[in-house]
Chain A
Amino acid sequence: MSEERDYRDDPGGTSPFDQANLSFPPDYLRDGRGIRSWLLTTDHKRIGVMFYAIIVLMLGLGGIFALLIRTELLTPERTVMSASAYNRFFTLHGVVMVFLFMIPSIPNVFGNFLLPIMIGARDLAFPRLNLASFYVYCVGSTVTLAAAIWGGVDTGWTFYVPYSTSTESSVFLVAVGIFILGISSILTALNFIVTTHTLRAEGMRWLDMPLFVWAIYATSIIMLLATPVLGLTLVLVALDRIAHIGMFDPRLGGDPVLFQHLFWFYSHPAVYIMILPAMGVISETVCTFSKKPPSSYWAIAISSLGIAFVGFFGWGHHMFVAGMSEIDAGIFGALSMFVAIFSAIKVFTWTATLYRGNITFTTPMLYFFWFLFLFTFGGMTGVAVATQSLDVHWHDTYFVVAHFHFIMVGGTITAFVGAAHYWFPIMFGRMYSERMGLLTSTSVFFGFLFTFVPQFLLGNAGMPRRYYSYPPRYQWLNVVSTGGAYLLAGALLLTLINLLVALKWGKRATPNPWGSRSFEWMTAAIPIKHNFETPPVISRGPYDYHLSEEQAHARTKAR
């Protein structure tokens, strides 16, 4: 097959819908032109792409803040900025990365784009609500950023009271912004849940859904149940600041530790909002490139729900030194370990899937390999910090910073970038440069290691987090970490450039370039506006690699 040929000229019938119809509807990118057709679209794919653009922008912004922090930490005293500027920058880094990038990243970009296609639906259940979610996100992120930048918020992304109720910065407006962002999360989560329940194609049972759908479904449940708690907590903080109702302020009889309970009741499950979709991406990648079904579909699907459930009961391990009772600490320590068991089941299953596979080694697969190491190590250090007596030494030191960056960067960003490569052909109809992909992926990994391994050691040595100046004995590890951060940033920038180049000059993609059996690859090279010309009827599983590609197509078609 000629690589340059458009799929429309393809007489071979690789797309299931091309025999009957000679007049093709245009693909989603060309269906409607002009800025208006994008801004007012209700097509889940276009909304996904719009989210994509803005979320990559947020990642860049959060990354710039990270570099500023790391630059300041090159020397034990002032390097480039004052203490109050430093405090604002680490707050901005945390807020942007958590609320503006990480939480919406994979669900709102890849979930939006792929979930309906994967279950054979024309769109999400509530397309207008989906567009509303996008604009609510835009408003929320604008308010948050404007307040944090111009108002100079210096509380850290955790907003611990009573500091956040007493500092002279615009905590109130940032709280409003994050509240609005929460509404966007809830709208999207609701949409995904309803879509999964009601819009599965004819013949598709729950256990026929691709594993990515399970992951997004479990994530949506957490979003729907946990986000309101965050919203209400922020309302209480705002009321405490403005009306002095004395919810958390000890001078008025409030309890600052109550805030921590409420905050982590959201923010601990939020960790799984960030990592579960990444696990979904990994499941898809492993199966596609090993050309094998997962060694246990059931284990991966159920463990996603297990993590979503148990994740709600681990919040207390953030508070072992906050003055909670010993019994509480024991219970929360034990419950936290269950999350690790479910995650370990996934890791075993992915590794076992490789066994006797037929493995194509592509960029997404290399990202999977990094993920495997980083997530396993980061996850097990999570159990380590949930071990009560060890946490006493590690709590609020760089060890914890390193641990959650292993999960959030080593896990989620690795999977996000892996997904960006894996689904690049279906989203934009082009192929990226594999050689550049492998090169940038390797640089990302080493940049990451140099950034965060020294932070584990800094934490062991006792360097507290959020320190503007530090005892000089910590300096050389900080210098290594800063060097690594620049390498990581450079590698991610090159990755972006590689994909942008591919967008314009990449080879045209064929409809199923990876030879996958998953349902999203059964569409045209670039899906049409409503994904399928006729509603598909599914009579096979998403990982039926024993079927030939033609058979697989035949069992996905409308009859």
Chain B
Amino acid sequence: MNELLRRLLFLPQQSSTMAESIDELHYFVIITTMLGALLVTLVGGWFLLRYREGRIQTHPHDYDIGAKPPLWMKVAAVFALFTLFVVWWAIGMRQYLELRIAPQGAFEVEVVAKQWMWKYTYPEGGRSIAALYVPAGRPVKLTLTSRDVIHSFYVPEFRIKQDVVPGRFTTVWFEAKAAGVYEILCTEYCGTGHSVMRGQVIALEPGDFDRWLEGEDLGAPVAGPRYEQPWVVGNTAPAQELDLVRTGERAASTQGCLRCHSVDGTPHIGPTWAGLYGSVVPLEGGGKALVDAAYITESMMDPLVKMHAGFAPLMPSYLGRIRSGETAAIIAFIKSLRNVPPEPVAPTPSNDGGAP
């Protein structure tokens, strides 16, 4: 029943511990709403037919100017509605408190939002961008703030959302029921890149998560049918053997590089990587630079020193945020794209078309 209603109402998977009970209230509220609206419309429609002018001419006694429903009926209707609303309110309020108050002993992560990316800092000092690594089956509490304008942290499959306000710290918590990848969307309008300010929660089995925290490259973050490689052109099946280019592609994806840099020549927030390696690019403030391993490394660690002309100074420094080996892998990946023509092509990546 739950699954049927969830699909009928287009709700996402219930991947957090709170999701199912919230959806149950959702079904209750929406079904009552639909029945209520239908009832009013049917009664109204029935009156329109029953008391239409043509019929009144043949049944004049049906027309009664003074007819009104008895007072008890009105009082009962208002009272019933009031009771219904109180019930909704009571359940909704209780769930809201549960959503707002994180349980003791939650794993804590700090989140900083800026136009247009999510950055995470873990208790042991680990960092990541766009991809938030958490343990499955354990409460995770996020403390959020923004560096520029208001953003909002939304994971539809968890049924959680929290505005991220500059100058304030807000919190939100969730517990992923199982390992998997869950989409993060920004839901507070924040400018040109608002709709691409996305990310993923990557929930790992507790053992895997501890290994990840210690710096181990897990290869494919998670296997399974719900794994979707977003923002990446080309298919990387989790089971596939990894070479340096593939590793670079994955690192570029999990580090959030591909959210600003396209790999097929599509113009985006940052310069496209298609045909970039080996080319000579104009710099902001004059001069030119040859794109080689040294320039790419410098741009990753200190992006604002030699800026590619024509792009906004948005790129964060990856110094200390990126594992040794990932830098080389990303460079290898960029290098592998040097013969891709940097012209815009059809923007929809081929592996993005399917259902999640």
Give the B-binding residues of A (Cβ under 8 A).
75-78, 83-84, 87, 154-156, 160, 162-163, 166-167, 250-251, 254-257, 290-293, 295-296, 299, 320-323, 326, 329-330, 333-334, 337, 340-341, 344-345, 347-348, 350-352, 354-361, 365, 369, 372-373, 376-377, 380-381, 383-384, 387-390, 392-393, 395-397, 457-458, 460-462, 464-473, 477, 545-546
Contact = CB atoms under 8 A, between A and B. Distances in A.
A492 B166 CA distance: 43
A477 to B, nearest CB: 8
Contacts of A154: 191-192
Contacts of B188: 160, 396
A388 B22 contact: no
Nearest to B33: A380
A163 B156 contact: no
Contacts of A357: 47, 51, 63, 67
A365 B66 CA distance: 21
A461 B85 CA distance: 25
Given A166-B148, A292-B65, A377 B10 contact: no
Contacts of A381: 33
Contacts of B101: 326
B353 A472 contact: yes
B194 A468 contact: yes
15 contacts: A84-B192, A154-B192, A160-B150, A160-B188, A326-B97, A348-B74, A354-B51, A358-B56, A361-B48, A373-B41, A377-B37, A390-B25, A395-B152, A396-B187, A464-B185
A359 B46 CA distance: 12
A469 B52 contact: no
A160 B82 CA distance: 34
B48 A387 contact: no
Contact of A461 (B12, B165, B189): B12
4 tightest A-B CB contacts, nearest first: A250-B167, A462-B156, A389-B95, A388-B96
A334 to B, nearest CB: 6
B297 interface: no
Given A250-B166, A376-B36, A296 B74 contact: yes
Task: Tell me which of B51, B53, B99, B163 has the highest count of chain A C-beta atoms within 10 A of its own C-beta.
Answer: B163
B54 to A, nearest CB: 9
A368 to B, nearest CB: 9
B327 interface: no
A436 B341 CA distance: 56
A321 B348 CA distance: 32
Interface in B124-171: 148-150, 152, 154, 156-157, 159-163, 165-168, 170
Contact of B65 (A250, A389, A546): A546
Interface in B29-44: 29-30, 32-34, 36-37, 40-41, 43-44
B5 to A, nearest CB: 11
Interface stretch (B86-94, B244-252, B288-296, B317-325): B86-94
Given A341-B81, A352-B69, A472-B348, A373 B150 contact: no
Nearest to B346: A77
A365 B53 CA distance: 13
Nearest to B41: A373
Contacts of A160: 149-150, 188-189
A162 B150 contact: yes
A360 B92 contact: no
A326 B98 CA distance: 10
A255 B167 contact: yes
Given A345-B78, A358-B56, A373-B40, A163 B85 contact: no
B33 A384 contact: yes
B37 A163 contact: no
Contact of B10 (A359, A457, A468): A457
A395 B355 CA distance: 24
B100 interface: yes
A355 B67 contact: yes
A354 B40 contact: no
B159 A393 contact: yes
Contacts of A162: 148-150, 166
Nearest to B149: A163
Contacts of B163: 321-323
Contacts of B48: 354, 359, 361, 365, 369
A344 B78 contact: yes
Given A163-B190, A380-B33, 15 more contacts: A295-B68, A296-B68, A321-B163, A323-B162, A329-B93, A356-B51, A384-B33, A387-B25, A392-B22, A393-B156, A462-B12, A466-B189, A468-B195, A469-B196, A472-B352
B286 interface: no
Contacts of A376: 36-37, 40-41
Contacts of B192: 83-84, 87, 154
B15 to A, nearest CB: 12
Given A357-B51, A360-B53, A351 B65 contact: no
Contact of A163 (B47, B63, B191): B191
Nearest to A337: B85
Contact of A369 (B25, B45, B51, B194): B45
Nearest to A458: B10
Interface string B179-204: 00001011111111111100000000
B347 interface: yes
B165 A256 contact: yes
Task: Tell me which of A78, A458, A462, A467 has the highest count of chain B C-beta atoms within 10 A of its own C-beta.
Answer: A462
B26 interface: yes
Interface in B91-126: 91-101
A443 B203 CA distance: 48
B51 A358 contact: yes
A333 B68 CA distance: 33
A242 B139 CA distance: 45
Contacts of B36: 376, 380
B170 to A, nearest CB: 4
Interface string B16-28: 0000001001100
A359 to B, nearest CB: 5
Given A160-B188, A470-B195, A396 B96 contact: no
A392 B37 CA distance: 24
Nearest to A357: B51
Contacts of A369: 41, 44-45, 48
